Structure formats: structure tokens, C-alpha cells
Chains A and B, each alone.
Chain A
Amino acid sequence: MTMADSAQHSTELASDLGEVARALFGAGDVSATLQAVVDLATISIEGCDFASVFVMDSPEPDRPIVTDPLVARVDALQRASGQGPCIDAERTGQPVYVDDLADDTRWPVFGAGASDSGIRCVLAYPLSRSGSFGVLSLSATYPGAFGATDRAKGVIFATLAELALTGAQTHEEEDRRAENLHQALVTRELIGRAEGILMERERITATQAFDILRRASQHLNIKLKQVAEDLVETGERPNTGPDGSAGTRRA
């Protein structure tokens, strides 16, 4: 390869990875990003025939993150046998490369089963040091399918995937927090309206009105929000039980 060829190759590689980064970071939530990771892996890494995100703690995932049912079966075999490159990658936090599963002695049970299924070569990258997103598993039907360029590209790809997944997870948590806060505000307003009705009707303070709602919630064993909702809808005073001293507390 001449210097000009090498420069051209580097430019193409950088351009490819730039496209990959844009697609991964724009995929959306964690679930969509995981699926984008495996889909893009088979497109952007030349030797890769199939890809999956292997998760050890999920014995039978409802929706496995795979590009083909074949790798879902191979991942299941890895979980069942308790051995394999993804398990090692998750345990050590380091990438694991298998040139030919048929000849590799590290995982005799899994290696024989996987090669019988048609998978010969595997690259496994942990998606975060603690393996919280699982392990990106790239596989091929031919031994020695991943060259040096593929393996280097795999390292960068896995890093981009991990960053995109972390970003998607953070975004989901922020959305969840915002939704929880919104719900809390709605409930708070509802309770305030119920207190207002009691205050106006019984000429009591806000503290006393809250006491009535709280005692009814305890007596009826339902949430205070439900007591408030019933009061606002029906206008009926909530049942505070035999201890009818509600509303006696000083403000």
C-alpha cells in the first residue's frame, strides 16, 4: 500500500466512523440504540456477519438484541454452558478475540456447539467497564474473518456504542425525572383543591384540611391523592373513621 493509498484508507475509515457515530447518537432511547449498535456493526465492520448484545443476567431475553436468530441461539448456548468469549469479556472488562471456535480450547463445550451452528470467529467487546450494557458480540461464519483493521475498528465502534448508550440512558433518566415531577405537580394541585374545598366549607385551616384528608386516607387505606380526587369530584366529605376528631389540630 502506497502512502497515498494509506491516506485514502484512513480518510474513508474516519468518514465511516463519523457516519456510525451520527447514527448511534441519533438512534433515540436505549432500546433503539442497542438495536442500532448491532445493525451498524454488521454494516460497518467488514468481516462481521452477525452481531448481538450479550447479557449474562438475562437467561431468556424477551427481545434479544440480535441481527439474526442464529446468534440468539449461540448466545443462549453461551449462557447455558457458562463459558464463552462474551462471558470472559464481561468478567474481565477486556475485549476477547476468537480466531476459530472449532480449534480454540478455552471453551470446549461452547466452542463445539457454536461451530456446529456455523459460527467460527467471534470478537467480544464489553460495553462499559462494569458490563452494564452487556457485551457486543461480533461473529462470522469463517475462521479468521476479522483482520487487524476490523479489530481496530471494532474497538472504536464499541467505544462509540458505549458512549451513545450512556447518553441515551441519561436522556431516559432525565425524561423519567421530568415526568415524575410533572405528576407530582398535578397531584399537589389536586390535593390543594381538595383542601380548599374543606377550608371554605368547614372554615378550617389548610393544616386541618390536610389532617382530614390524611386520616381518611389512613382509615380507607387508599392514597391521599385518591381521597382528594373523590372529594373534588363528588363534593362529599371523606370518611375519617370512628375517630372523627379530624381538623382539630391548631394551624
Chain B
Amino acid sequence: MSGGETVLDRARQSAGLSHGELYLRYFELGGMSSAFQVEAIVYDLAQPSPHDYDVLAHALNERFVELGGDHPVPYAPDPSGPGETPGSGYPSGVKG
């Protein structure tokens, strides 16, 4: 079992979202995983697809924008390009 704080969970806590609230936002954006699976992804206990990760990251980033911030959660690197954010948290190093 993985331990320690993850990028996604740290972001979730900074954004002031409960697991249920994050799941609702993820679901709203079209996420297909269950609430249980999303929680496992957030805790780095399950590996999401790049798309699933991006939906979660965007759900968090929209919350940060609501709070007056930017898009601090990195998206998954594009396999055809160099990646959007240096040191992206996906797929390796999701754990913070």
C-alpha cells in the first residue's frame, strides 16, 4: 500500500474539497471512474489513464481558479510532445 501525501491529495486539501465534492466535479466534467476509484487515484493507490488524470487535474484547477488562483495542478504530459509542465506530476512522481 502506498503511503504519504500525493500531489492530487495535497491539491484537494488546498482547494478545500472533500472527496465527495471532488468526485462530483470530476463526474460533472465527464469522468467515468467511480468515487471509490477516484479516491484510490488521489491516494496513488490506483494508476489513472492520462485522460482520467487530466479530468481530475482540471476539476481541481477549476476550483483553484474559483479561489482566485491559477492552474497549479499539472496535466499529464502529451505523448506527442515535450509535456505541458516541467516536472509534471504524472505519471511518475504523483506522490508528493
Instruction: Kindly supply a per-residue 1/0 record for chain B positions 75-93, scoring 1 wherever the CB is within 8 Å of any chain A CB and 0 otherwise.
Output: 1001111001000000000
Task: State whether B24 touches A217 (Cβ < 8 A).
Answer: no
A181 and B24 contact, Cβ closer than 8 Å, known pairs A218-B61, A248-B78: yes
A191-B27 Cα distance, complex, nearest whole Å:
11
B58 touches A188 (CB 8 A): no
Q: Are A224 and B29 closer than 8 Å at their CB atoms?
A: yes
A249's closest neighbor in chain B, by CB? B78
A229 contacts B by Cβ under 8 Å: no
What band does the interface of chain A fall in when counting residues whose beta carbon is under 8 Å from B? 20 to 34
Indicate if the CB atoms of B81 and A245 lie closer than 8 Å. yes
Give the nearest-CB partner of A250 in chain B: B79
Give CA–CA (A223, B62) in the complex, Å.
7
CB pair B65–A210 under 8 Å, yes or no, is no
Of the listed residues A191, A248, A249, the one surrounded by the most CB atoms of chain B closer than 10 A to its CB is A249
Contact residues in A for B27 (Cβ distance below 8 Å):
184, 188
**Residues from chain B with Cβ under 8 Å of A218 in the complex:** 58, 61, 71
Instruction: Provide the bound-state CA to CA distance between A102 and B24, in Å.
Output: 56
Contact A191–B29 (Cβ < 8 Å): yes
Chain A residues closer than 8 Å to B54, beta-carbon distance: 210-211, 214
Contact with B along A209-230 (1 / 0, CB 8 A): 0110010011001011100000
Contacts of A195 in B (CB 8 A): 30
Judged by a CB distance under 8 angstroms, whether A115 is at the interface is: no
| Residues of chain A within 8 A of B62, CB atoms compared | 217, 223-224
Q: Do residues B24 and A249 form an inter-chain contact, with CB atoms below 8 A?
A: no
Q: Find chain A residues with CB under 8 A from B38 CB.
A: none
A207 B28 Cβ-Cβ under 8 A:
no
Cβ-defined contact, A180 with B24, below 8 A: yes
Are B78 and A245 neighbours in the complex by a CB distance under 8 Å? yes
Nearest-Cβ distance from residue A249 to partner chain B, whole angstroms? 6
Which residues of chain B have C-beta atoms less than 8 A from A221's C-beta?
A: 65
Q: Return B90 CB to nearest CB of chain A, in Å.
A: 12
For window 142-187 of A, CB contacts with B under 8 Å fall at 180-181, 183-184, 187
Can you list 11 A-B contacts with CB-CB less than 8 angstroms, sorted by A residue number?
A: A183-B28, A184-B24, A188-B30, A214-B58, A214-B75, A217-B62, A218-B61, A223-B62, A243-B84, A248-B80, A250-B80
Residues of A within 8 A of B (CB): 180-181, 183-184, 187-188, 191-192, 195, 207, 210-211, 214, 217-218, 221, 223-225, 243, 245, 248-251
Which are the 10 A-B pairs with shortest beta-carbon distances? A184-B28, A207-B51, A248-B80, A187-B28, A191-B30, A214-B58, A184-B24, A188-B28, A184-B27, A249-B78
